[in-house]
Structure formats: C-alpha cells, structure tokens
Amino acid sequence: MARKNPLDYQRLEIETLGPAKINSPLLGSSPQGDREQDESLAWEAFTDDSQRILMDATLASIVKFKEENMTPASFEQAGARRQIYFDPSKSRAGILTAGGLCPGLNDVIRSLVMTLHYRYGVHNILGIKYGYQGLIPSFGHSLVQLTPSLVSEIHQFGGTILGSSRGNQSVEELVDSLERLNMNILFCIGGDGTLRGANAICAEIKNRGLKISVVGIPKTIDNDISLVSRSFGFETAVSVATEVIRAAHTEALGAPWGVGLVKLMGRDSGFIAATAALALGDANFVLIPEVDFDVEGQGGLLDKLAERLKSRGHAVLVVAEGAGQKFFQTETVIKDASGNILHSDIGQYLADRIRTYFKSRNHELNLKYIDPSYIIRSAPANSTDQVFCSFLGQKAAHAAMAGKTNLLIGQWNDHFVHVPIAMAISRRKKVDPMGELWNSVLERTGQPNLMAEKEEK
C-alpha cells in the first residue's frame, strides 16, 4: 500500500456542489451534420476530472516519487466538462472586481460574459459594483446587467467597468445578499484579500447548505499568489515598467553624474522590478523585498553608487515598493482596508538619502525620481495579457457551470488548472534569492552585494 505523501496536499482536490448530470450545451453540431463525427469531436473537446497536471514535472521528482511509492502532487486540469451541474436557463451569475486596479480586469469580465452568454446560454449575468461593497445593502450600489453588447469594447480600456474597493465586509451579509438575489454563481476577480473573502464566503455557503459556486480569478499585478505561475496584468506591467526604466536611463545619460531612480510595484515580492530590469538591461541596481541591503557604510548602496558614478558617470536604480522597510522604525503596523501592511515610501527615502550623501561631499548630482505605479496599474492590457485573460474567463466559466467551487483558475506548467483557494492564500509567492531569476538579474546588472562591511570592534 502506498505511503501517504506529505507533499500531495490531498491531491489538491476541488470541492463540488454535487454530481454534474446535465449535458453541456457546448456539444455543438459538426459542419457536415455528421452525428458520429460530432460525438467524436465533442469527447476530444472536453476535459475529464481525472486529468491532472503534476506540480513538479521534473524527471528527478517523478523518479523519486516512484521509488518511494508515493503519489505525486497534482492539480485538476481546467476546461469544459461534458456534463454540467447548473441549468443555464435557470442560472444567475454575478461578477465582481476588488482590490487595486490591474491591466486586464475588463478583459476578464468580457471573457466571462461572452462565454456564459454564447457558449452556455446564461443570459442573467449581474455586475456587482465596487467589489464586495456591492453586495452590502447599506452602501447602496446598484447592480449592472452585463450583456455582450455592453462588454464588447471594454477590453480596449484600463481599469474595470465595475469599479473596485478594499475592505472587509460581513460574510453573513454577503451570503444573505446572494440568497436574496437568487445568485448561484459568483466570480471574484481579485488578489490575496479578495480570495480570502471568497474563501470565507464559501465556508458560510457550506454552513447554510446552499448550492452556490464561487470561482476566483487571481488578480495581482505583483505576480505573488502562491501556486499560480503567472497572473494577468503582470506582463503588461513589466512592459510599461521597461519603458519607464528606459526613460530613466535616458535622463541619467543626459546630465553629468545623472541618476535615474524608478520605484515599481512589489509590496512583498519583487517580480516586476526583477523582470523589468532583466528585460531591458539598463538598470545597475535592483532592490527587492526578498534581498537585504544597506544604504550607509562601506559596501552599502551609497558607497557602490558613488563608485559607479565615478567610473561611468551615470546610474539607474530600480526599487520595488516593499524593499528596505527596515529603514523605517515604526512602533505600530498600519494596514489598508484589505488588511495589507502599508509600507513606507522607500523611493522617496532613497532619493533623499542619495541627494544628502552627494551634497555632503560637495559633489554634483542630477537625480530624477520616477514613480509610475498608477500609470502602470491603470494601463490597458497588452495583447499577450488580453489572450491570457480570455482563457482565464473561459476556464472560470467552465468550472462554475460544472458545479465546482472554492477554487481559482491558475496556470501551472503551461496548463490551466484548478487550485483550491485555501491553498493559494496559505502563503505568498516570492522571488528566490538563490533562484534563476535573481541570479540572472545579478548577471545582467553586475550588481554587487550591497551589505555594508561590519566594523571590527
């Protein structure tokens, strides 16, 4: 008998509301009207619950699991099921967006509406305004009837037509509203806080014995959700950030002892800063939350920056917003409405420290500080993210109609998969300081160790 594998995470099993017994309306007709051919094509177009995607697909891992007689951890593959749980003609779906803005939100909304309406025949789709607030009566936000004509062009614009908000709302009130609205499907598009809310809603739904499917589409521009290899909006953010770094480099070159300092998103994870710096190669110093650094002292940032300026005459620094928080001494932790820790402004801090350092040495300095965060967040998705968002919306609709719940749609090993929300929010994904991405950044930039030498006592 196989031993229990401590790494299989219970095979990452997905909750369902019950047996799926309704033939999917996706069983279309072949152009020739050949019923036998139609059935054959239909079987190939659908995904079975038994189809799994290995969490670790390396040969060494597979051999190890085989030798130790253990079942490797695997995700349930996302996709349309041949039989569904909900009757489309009687279904009412809701869509909400919550948290900060991110490129691609409108694209996901559009994909959900188009898939539900045209592929499944669900014509009762409601847009919930301003995140979870839209389900709380006291806020007074109206609902929006989402139709293909309404959403047909929204992918051309940034932001979200449904609006967004932060803040913890009463789970009991949220589920009360779902019941009053006779809503049996809820799509939650958002990051860590939004997904935590969705997980709590699922628990309350289960306690009440209701049949409501809750499906998450992970939205984090920082690409920091665990068990999700890529989140929508990240590639757009990197693309825009790359052009900002290019501008900072141009500014730095345009003046003697020129310094371009760019602050990018990355509250707890430095994926955008690292990837954008790697893409362009103009950055000389990249500072992220996962890698410690000193500002003062021999070997610290200011010391190494002075060496760079002396040898090359210009420099570009890229810093993630959550980097260097050790330099801010605060007795109390301040959080936003969603429970995220509000970090101090490392970008302005570094700009001030750099100016003070060179002024104290009576040395010329031309520093340009650029914070493009809101420009990046509100940008329309680029073509790569648009395609990705389209797939996410489609897969989310398939999962919900099949009666699956308390899951999010993610991508893993180039496959779309179902990930239990509880697993995804259990920890935050971070840049590995010993991993390939960060080592590639160090090679690309030539960045030295920025920890100051300790003085001997």
Annotated catalytic sites, by residue? Answer: 222
Report the C-alpha gap between 305 and 301 in whole angstroms.
Answer: 6
Residues 6+ apart with CB under 8 A from 400: 86, 93, 185, 187, 213, 215
Phi, psi torsion values for 318, nearest 5 degrees: -120, 125
What's the DSSP call for residue 139? G
| Coil/strand/helix, residue 411 | strand
Cα-based angle 293, 294, 299 (whole degrees, multiple of 5): 100
Q: Which has the closest alpha carbon to 86: 407, 403, 396? A: 403
- The alpha carbon of 349 is separated from its chain's Cα centroid by a whole number of angstroms, namely 27
Phi, psi torsion values for 239, nearest 5 degrees: -60, -45
Tracing tokens 């489609």 back to the chain, one arrives at 394
Residues 6+ apart with CB under 8 A from 386: 104, 107, 155
Residue 209 burial by Cβ neighbours in a 10 Å radius (0-12, 13-18, 19+): exposed
What the block records as the tokens of 24 is: 């999917």
Which residues of 20-61 form beta strands (DSSP E)?
22-23, 52-54
End-to-end Cα separation, the chain, in angstroms:
61
Which residues of 13-164 form beta strands (DSSP E)?
15-16, 22-23, 52-54, 74-77, 83-84, 93-97, 125-128, 143-145
Q: Are strands 415-420 and 74-77 parallel, antiparallel or unpaired?
A: antiparallel
Report the C-alpha gap between 51 and 62 in whole angstroms.
Answer: 17
Residue type, 182: N
Q: How many CB atoms lie within 10 A of CB 103?
A: 28
What the block records as the tokens of 315 is: 């420099």
What's the DSSP call for residue 225? B
| Coil/strand/helix, residue 299 | coil
